[in-house]
């Protein structure tokens, strides 16, 4: 019974990964306007220019704080106003979200590399 409870909890937490289509990988370029730097996953909200000249809001989701720390990413690595390119798995059904695998600032600074 304990193993079943642990398994259900783990699946429940990772059910959010169903929000992303592992077959859709892309890059989103935008300007950071808000950051939610907390567990279970960080969220960085971007303003992204559309092809028609308007802008869209995108939700960049990333690993938990411990995983980021192990990869050398700290709180000050990304700030509101930074222009970044995020590469990762895109949201299902055209939702404007991306699961970050790598993040690079406009000046070429690599904030987070894709895990090997």
Residue-wise pLDDT tens digits, 48-70: 998 898 999 999 999 999 999 98
| pTM of the complete model | 0.82
* Residues 11-23: tens digit of each pLDDT: 444 545 678 998 9
* Residues 75-85: tens digit of each pLDDT: 889 999 999 99
Residue 63 Cα distances to 51, 52, 55, 58, 112, angstroms: 29, 32, 26, 17, 11
Confidence (pLDDT) at 38: 87
Token pair belonging to 79: 């700030």
């Amino acid at each position: 019974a304990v193993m079943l409870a642990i398994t259900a909890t783990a699946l429940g937490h990772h059910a959010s990964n169903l929000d992303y289509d592992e077959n859709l990988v892309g890059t989103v370029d935008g300007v950071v306007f808000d950051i939610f730097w907390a567990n279970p996953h960080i969220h960085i909200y971007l303003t992204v220019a559309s092809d028609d000249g308007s802008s869209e809001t995108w939700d960049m989701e990333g690993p938990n704080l411990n995983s980021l720390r192990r990869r050398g990413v700290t709180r000050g690595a990304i700030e509101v106003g930074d222009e970044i390119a995020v590469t990762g798995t895109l949201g299902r059904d055209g939702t404007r979200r991306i699961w970050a695998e790598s993040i690079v600032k406009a000046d070429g600074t690599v904030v987070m590399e894709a895990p090997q």
